[in-house]
Amino acid sequence: MKIEIESLDKLPDTAAKIIKQLNLKTEMQVNNCVAFYGEMGAGKTTLIKEICKLLGVCDITSSPSFSLINEYLSKEDKSIFHFDFYRINDIEEAYDIGYEDYFYSNSLCFIEWPEKIESLLPENHTNIKINILDNNIRTVEIFQ
């Protein structure tokens, strides 16, 4: 599936399409890890924020650049984990935070900069690639 976003006004529609396509919900998931690929400034965090909002996250969402992981709670008190591996220097840092406890839980996991820990991603994860076409236009591609 490929979606074109012409402006930030289209972000809620895009997030809704992703939720529907991936059948995302905050309860038990089989395919709970979603890896977000895209260069710096592509909009990975912005898209994750919008997806979380539509999933009923009550918390303030932000990039976990320095903490590596943020936990958000939905209105049903279900956890959603948001990872940002941009600043890790070694895959051991993912082991140190106990990535397995998150990736193999029944909670949704949104992962930015997954290329830094690609060998650790669960076999059944979903990939989302955001491409910048120009300052205002992005394409979002979903694939397994």
Any idea where the domains of the chain sit in the sequence?
A: 2-20+31-143
More confident residue, 58 or 126: 126
Quickly list DSSP for 23-49: T--SS--SS-EEEEE--TTSSHHHHHH
The CATH code belonging to domain 2-20+31-143 is 3.40.50.300
pTM beyond 0.95: the answer is no
- Cα distance between residue 133 and residue 116, in whole Å: 24
Residue 105 has pLDDT above 80, yes or no: yes
pLDDT tens by residue, 37-95: 999 999 999 999 999 999 999 877 877 776 789 999 988 888 999 999 999 999 999 99
